Amino acid sequence: MPAKMQKSKEDILNRAVKQLERNTELSDLSPGSVARALLEVISEEMADVYAALDFNYAQGLLSKARGNGLDCLGGLLGIERTRGANYTIDKASCSFYFYLNTSPVHTAGSPNTTVSGIGLGSLSIPSGTLVSTSGDYVGRRLAYTTTDEINMGANDSMSYCGLRPSTTDMLLNTGKGTLTTHSYSTVPQLYCYNPKAVNAILNYEDDDTYRSRIRYELRRLASANRWALYMAALSVDGVKDASIKELARGLGSVEVVISPYRVSSNRALILQQVRVAVEAVRPAGISVTVKYPEFLAVGLNARLTLQGSTRVNVGERLRNQAYDLVTNYINSLTAGETLVFNRLISSVISLSGEISDFQINSFSVGGSVVPRRNYTPEEDEQLYAGTVNIL
């Protein structure tokens, strides 16, 4: 087992104080003394060195590497991370929000008060506010700017916001729960948090997916196996996921069902590219069929109930946000993935304190009315957002 290299400032300081007490005649090592002040300065610098050592050590391990470090490990096997173009993270994705909390020490991401609770009638946060990861972790500081002007009402405790990478060449993704610093210092009770990983570019392959591809690369190199077919399909831009069905049409047959990032993508071109990629690793004597799942449109009619004091323009904005959230969630599902009803409802209600209820009155899949509960399509079926009405 490797030695643990991470040491905090407190650990280093306590050890140094004990060493001085044991080996020197210094008697005043209490807070405020000259000797203690010198030790605190040195301990803080040494803690940064240990943090750098720990971070760099982790970057050499496939299970812990992230960002550019993971890219370097993948480069050893000639595996490049799937990349796209820089894009804006829409607030409807519910990937980032500002929230209010009166306690300086609290669980990140948890509001405990409203705008009126801190003595304000409303709170506005301008577009272009800088948000970033904390500077406490070496090598992980990434910054974004907000794309929306936020107007929180008296009853609001949190508000989602869109983001844009602060630089056009920013490629690294930002992990869940790491965007906790912002530049809006007017309200000390205002904090920020990202409940989901935030990617700087469109269709950017996240660390976990990329790590899985690296892990199974040796199996892929052996070729003529299901992992080779799976990884060949994922290597095509526009393919979000793929499932491999063995014996789909009897002995010697395999079916590859691919899920695109967008149902409206250039499906014919993507399908042809996957066929070419799969053909390169297809076992001799095996028939491989590549196809899309059957796309089923999800339709629903819902009612958004707002607080009585909610202004008309705010209500319209919340309905638009709810529509974007619902459609984005449905369109994010892959072939065979379950649509979770409670997740859909709770996500909409958590958009704002102005929303008191969200009720789905009718629910249909593929043009047929189905019960209002979790819906799991077949392995070769994929849901996408059809007609969605929110009143």
Burial code (b: 16+ CB inside 10 Å, e: under 16) for 98-135 equals bbbbeeeeeebbebeebbeeeeeeebebeeebebbbee
> What is the mean predicted confidence (pLDDT) over 223-251?
84
Indicate the pairing of strand 143-146 with strand 163-165: antiparallel
Task: Check pLDDT > 60 for residue 224.
Answer: yes
- Angle of the 34-58 helix axis to the 9-23 helix axis, nearest 10: 130
Predicted confidence (pLDDT) per residue in 83-94, tens digit: 655 567 888 778
Predicted confidence (pLDDT) per residue in 329-378, tens digit: 888 888 889 999 888 888 888 888 788 889 999 999 999 999 989 999 99
d(CA 278, CA 281): 6
pTM of the model: 0.49
- Check if the beta carbon of residue 50 is closer than 8 Å to that of residue 5: yes
Residue 78: which region, alpha, beta or left (left: phi > 0; alpha: psi -120 to 50)?
left
Burial class (CB in 10 A: 0-12, 13-18, 19+), 219: middle
Closest CA to 62 of 73, 51, 75: 73
d(CA 102, CA 191): 10
Complete DSSP assignment for 322-339: HHHHHHHHHHT--TT--B
> What is the mean predicted confidence (pLDDT) over 278-287?
86
Give the residue with greater pLDDT, 250 vs 166. 250
Average pLDDT, the chain: 84
d(CA 360, CA 352): 18
Q: Phi and psi at residue 205, in whole multiples of 5°?
A: -70, 125
Helices (H), 175-311: 207-215, 217-222, 226-234, 267-279
Predicted confidence (pLDDT) per residue in 51-109, tens digit: 888 888 888 888 888 877 888 888 888 888 776 555 678 887 788 999 999 998 898 89
> What is the mean predicted confidence (pLDDT) over 195-221?
74
Closest CA to 230 of 208, 205, 257, 204: 257
CA angle centred on 183, ends 180 and 187, rounded to 5°:
90
Q: Would you mind telling me the total number of residues written for the chain in this entry?
A: 391
Task: Check pLDDT > 60 for residue 140.
Answer: no
Q: Identify the helix (H) or strand (E) that includes residue 58.
A: helix 34-58
